[in-house]
């Protein structure tokens, strides 16, 4: 046979070789990308040459980098920057592209070639090589990563690691234990350099009797006392060691009564009104034989604590408010229409879908019930008992809202933090179960419920209606909600104080950590915001419109105290408004008349005949609305649908279609901050001028202004102890206060070197400020993709097992 000689190629190209875009090349400095790790944090798995999707339709803005899974977070490391991203607050615990594992709701892997997808769970197997990873987060973010250039095995391993470590089976596997043991305790098990995780803490934690004593004195509850009968958690596992009870009840009686209550939860004192009425929360009585006797004994003790010996009103929350499953279902529907469904498909039916979710109805229901309790305490001078089966869920929301409406101290920053610590953390709210931090199964999913988010939404409704009555901003409320998914702080990590003590003791024993005088590991509280943000970024929490108690103003060069001298009566905008409608309700017989309706002028007797009888609570609310609101007085919310709106900064901050450049509340916040800072500067100069004229002082720059112009001074200076040196904690607090004075109380400040005139609005300001939807909400295209059926409904949030086994 003849051998055939292969022919030589004759084609010749006259075009220059294609130049690769180095900026878009995934090989650029990938090997030098390393994650920033916290104490106790280790890298579990990683994958190189990963592409993070920024836009749903185009990939030209996507970022190349390394995807890393640690025992704390999912981290994406890149040298590129996001497009049109000129501002983002810097988090000291998380990077720009980091997501805590506790924030991951579901892990979905996709293979475009085989047309498969799977929702991964803990200890689940993955039989195909993923080409895409989608992370659905509890803070409503949707993150997408592509593995086009990554190795198939590394992509599979990092997906399985994220699914496994985001669902720990035991509380001691949460990252907070490793973080605390590594940062605050050395390798020998002793405290590192005396570092205190609660250093610089000003918010009372209510874990000692002195905090409760100060709260009793502040509210004037002279007929109540601090009880230590549960010291060591010997009576009730879900109650704190110290709490407040009527002075007429002896410790021996409390020990005897505890076994008859659900969870051995003795009735808890919440707050005292200046007129003597008290707000108390109580669990149900499990022993029917002792129910009547105990009920009379508890009511008699609360009656004796009232100066007028008034009767006690009981409010059954289980019968009048939605349960935790209904609240959870409402959030699932709301999340579906806000972030999962494409905006183009849901735009026409968006308002009707929002109404059908019933989230706003539940917000209105809790606010309305809190108004009724406020009327009982303020209008009827009667003590109120909040009844609930376990006294750990609904009563937390109602008790907190009632105190916000009645006590101006709770509307300050420190007062609000103390309120959450007292009524939520120490009262035994099940944060571990309600946030679903552990491995998800059907039983634990039934315990999941966003009650704390519902409470923050109710607080935002009050803040939106009375912006000058609150010291904090909606940015603070949003960041506080996001802190629930950072498993470092003890505030949102456990179901009760006893659970924290037991697990920390067991963990310390297993790691040979010497606790010393501490009975348990001391986890940091979320209230020390310096652990997450710089002093500059913390100024985003300060409300420029806040009018505190005894706020100062300057008149003719003299500093005076603002006081309301006369209250005028203002009529309602709508004439002949039905009384029930003023309280947010409209019966079937009521109609909404026009302002100049002839029916009311010609036949007023018909309108009066059809108008139902006004209840005392409705009359009380109507009289309060007829007077101007006092920021330092009682606040009642308007409950009409036109007055309650969706919390846009929280629910729509990641939606690109809802982002308004140079618009939204951020622009008003910018202008008001500049105005307040300018007033602040002028006040400082006036004080310096008056001081220099009255007393000869050395020349020099004017001293820094001590506080916000429209708010009271933060804390009066304390008299130093003689012959004593400042402690390390006091020095740290003084340094923080000096830094805050240096940076100012406002985030946006006027510059003395800037030219005269109105300052321009920064380019990065939008309705999502200080957050950005860039790279945080990337929906996958629905046309022609294997996820079209997966993302077509809310089932992705409801049943993992059904969705994983469903065939396309």
Label residues 83-109 b or e (16+ Cβ within 10 Å = b): eeeeeebebebbebbbbbbbbbbbbbb
Eight-state DSSP code of residue 142 = E
Distance CA 578, CA 7 (A): 97
What is the residue-wise DSSP string for 535-571?
A: HHHHGGGB-TT---TT-EEEETTEEEE----------
pLDDT at residue 684 above 70? Answer: yes
Annotated binding-site residue? 30: no
CATH tag, 43-167: 2.30.29.30
Mean pLDDT to the nearest integer, 250-259: 92
Instruction: Give 700-748 pLDDT, tens digit per residue.
Output: 444 444 444 344 444 443 433 333 333 444 455 555 555 555 457 888 8
Number of C-beta neighbours around residue 313 at 10 A: 16
Distance CA 343, CA 323 (A): 30
Mean pLDDT to the nearest integer, 633-641: 93
Q: Which of these, 776, 780, 781, lies nearest to 76 by C-alpha position?
A: 776
Instruction: Give 490-523 pLDDT, tens digit per residue.
Output: 999 999 999 999 999 899 888 888 776 767 788 8
Q: Taking the domains of the chain in order of start, what are their residue ranges? A: 43-167, 209-540
Structure-token pair, residue 799: 């049943």
Q: Which residues pair with 281 in a beta bridge?
A: 268, 386
Most confident segment among 105-119, 272-286, 760-774: 272-286
pLDDT score of 675: 92
Residue reference for tokens 């009566």: 569
Contact 469, 126 (CB under 8 A): no
Mean pLDDT to the nearest integer, 189-218: 75
pLDDT score of 688: 85
Tell me if residue 104 falls in helix, strand or coil.
strand
Angle at 433 between CA 432 and CA 437, to 5 degrees: 55
Mean pLDDT to the nearest integer, 756-760: 60
> What pTM did the predictor assign?
0.83
Contact 491, 421 (CB under 8 A): yes
End-to-end Cα separation, the chain, in angstroms: 56
Say which residue, 485 or 586, is predicted with more confidence.
485
Distance CA 410, CA 404 (A): 6
Annotated binding-site residue? 193: no
Tell me if residue 237 falls in helix, strand or coil.
coil
Say which residue, 687 or 590, is predicted with more confidence.
687
Distance CA 278, CA 298 (A): 13
Instruction: Give 183-192 pLDDT, tens digit per residue.
Output: 877 555 555 5
Q: Which of these, 150, 117, 114, lies nearest to 26 by C-alpha position?
A: 150
CA distances from 651 to 139, 260, 354, 645, 757 (A): 9, 42, 12, 12, 36
Residue reference for tokens 């009311």: 600
pLDDT score of 707: 40
pLDDT mean across residues, the chain: 80
Residue reference for tokens 């916290």: 38
pLDDT score of 10: 65
Angle at 503 between CA 502 and CA 504, to 5 degrees: 95
Contact 413, 436 (CB under 8 A): no
């Amino acid at each position: 046979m003849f051998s055939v000689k292969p022919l030589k190629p004759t084609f010749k190209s006259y075009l220059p070789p294609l130049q690769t875009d180095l900026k878009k090349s995934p090989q650029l400095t990938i090997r030098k990308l390393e994650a920033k790790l916290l104490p106790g944090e280790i890298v579990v798995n990683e994958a190189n040459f990963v592409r993070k999707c920024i836009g749903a339709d185009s990939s030209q803005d996507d970022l190349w980098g390394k995807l890393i899974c640690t025992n704390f977070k999912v981290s994406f490391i890149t040298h590129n920057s996001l497009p049109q991203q000129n501002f983002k607050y810097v988090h000291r615990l998380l990077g720009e592209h980091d997501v805590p594992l506790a924030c991951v709701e579901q892990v979905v892997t996709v293979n475009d070639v085989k047309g498969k997808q799977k929702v991964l769970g803990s200890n689940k197997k993955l039989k195909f090589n993923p080409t895409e990873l989608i992370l659905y987060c509890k803070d409503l973010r949707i993150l997408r990563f592509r593995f086009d250039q990554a190795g198939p095995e590394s992509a599979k391993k990092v997906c399985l690691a994220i699914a496994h470590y985001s669902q720990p089976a035991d509380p001691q596997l949460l990252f907070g234990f490793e973080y605390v043991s590594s940062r605050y305790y050395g390798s020998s098990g002793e405290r590192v350099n005396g570092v205190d995780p609660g250093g610089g803490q000003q918010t009372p934690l209510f874990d000692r009797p002195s905090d409760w004593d100060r709260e009793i004195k502040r509210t004037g509850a002279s007929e109540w006392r601090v009880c230590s009968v549960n010291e060591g958690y010997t009576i009730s596992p879900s109650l704190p060691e110290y709490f407040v009870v009527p002075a007429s009840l002896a410790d021996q009686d409390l020990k005897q009564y505890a076994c008859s209550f659900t969870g051995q939860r003795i009735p808890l004192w919440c707050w005292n009104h200046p007129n003597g009425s008290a707000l108390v929360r109580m669990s149900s009585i499990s022993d029917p034989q002792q129910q009547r006797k105990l009920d009379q004994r508890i009511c008699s003790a609360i009656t004796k604590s009232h100066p007028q010996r008034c009767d006690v009103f009981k409010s059954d929350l289980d019968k009048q408010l939605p349960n935790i499953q209904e609240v959870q279902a409402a959030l699932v529907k709301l999340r579906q229409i806000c972030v999962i469904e494409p905006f183009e498909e849901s735009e026409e039916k968006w308002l009707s879908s929002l109404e059908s979710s019933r989230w706003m109805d539940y917000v209105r229901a809790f606010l309305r019930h809190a108004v009724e309790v406020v009327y009982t305490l303020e209008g009827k001078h009667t003590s109120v008992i909040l009844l609930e089966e376990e006294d750990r869920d609904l009563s937390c929301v109602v008790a907190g809202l009632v105190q916000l409406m009645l006590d101006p101290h709770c509307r300050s920053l420190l007062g609000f933090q103390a309120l959450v610590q007292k009524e939520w953390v120490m009262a035994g709210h099940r944060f571990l179960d309600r946030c679903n931090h552990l491995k998800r199964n059907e039983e634990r999913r039934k315990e999941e419920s966003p009650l704390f988010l519902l409470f923050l939404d109710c607080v935002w409704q009050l803040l939106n209606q009375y912006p000058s009555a609150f010291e904090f901003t909606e940015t603070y409320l949003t960041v506080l909600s996001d802190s629930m998914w950072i498993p470092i702080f003890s505030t949102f990590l456990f179901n009760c104080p006893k659970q924290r003590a037991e697990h920390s003791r067991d963990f310390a024993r297993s790691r040979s950590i010497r606790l010393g005088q501490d009975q348990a590991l001391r986890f940091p509280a979320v209230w020390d915001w310096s652990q997450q943000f710089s002093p500059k970024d913390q100024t985003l929490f300060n409300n420029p419109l806040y009018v505190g108690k005894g706020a100062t103003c300057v008149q003719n060069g003299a500093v005076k105290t603002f006081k309301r001298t006369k209250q005028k009566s203002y009529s309602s905008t709508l004439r002949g408004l039905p009384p029930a409608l003023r309280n947010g309700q409209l019966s079937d017989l009521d109609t909404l008349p026009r302002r100049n309706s002839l029916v009311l002028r010609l036949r007023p007797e018909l309108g009066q005949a059809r108008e139902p009888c006004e209840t005392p609570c409705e009359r009380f609310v109507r009289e309060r609305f007829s007077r101007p609101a006092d920021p330092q007085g009682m606040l009642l919310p308007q409950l009409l649908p036109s007055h309650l709106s969706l919390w846009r900064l929280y629910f729509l901050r990641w939606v690109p279609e809802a982002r308004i450049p140079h618009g939204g509340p951020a622009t008003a916040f910018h202008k008001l901050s500049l105005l307040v800072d300018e007033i602040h500067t002028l006040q400082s100069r006036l004080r310096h001028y008056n001081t220099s004229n009255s007393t000869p002082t050395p020349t020099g720059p004017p001293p820094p202004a001590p506080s916000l112009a429209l708010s009271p001074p933060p804390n009066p200076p304390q008299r130093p102890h003689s012959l004593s040196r400042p402690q390390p904690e006091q020095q740290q607090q003084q340094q923080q206060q000096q830094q805050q004075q240096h940076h100012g109380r406002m985030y946006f400040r006027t510059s003395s070197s800037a030219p005269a005139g109105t300052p321009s609005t920064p380019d990065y300001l939008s309705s999502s400020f200080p957050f950005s939807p860039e790279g945080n909400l990337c929906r996958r295209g629905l046309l022609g993709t294997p996820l079209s059926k997966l993302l077509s409904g809310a089932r992705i949030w409801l049943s993992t097992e059904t969705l994983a086994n469903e065939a396309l």
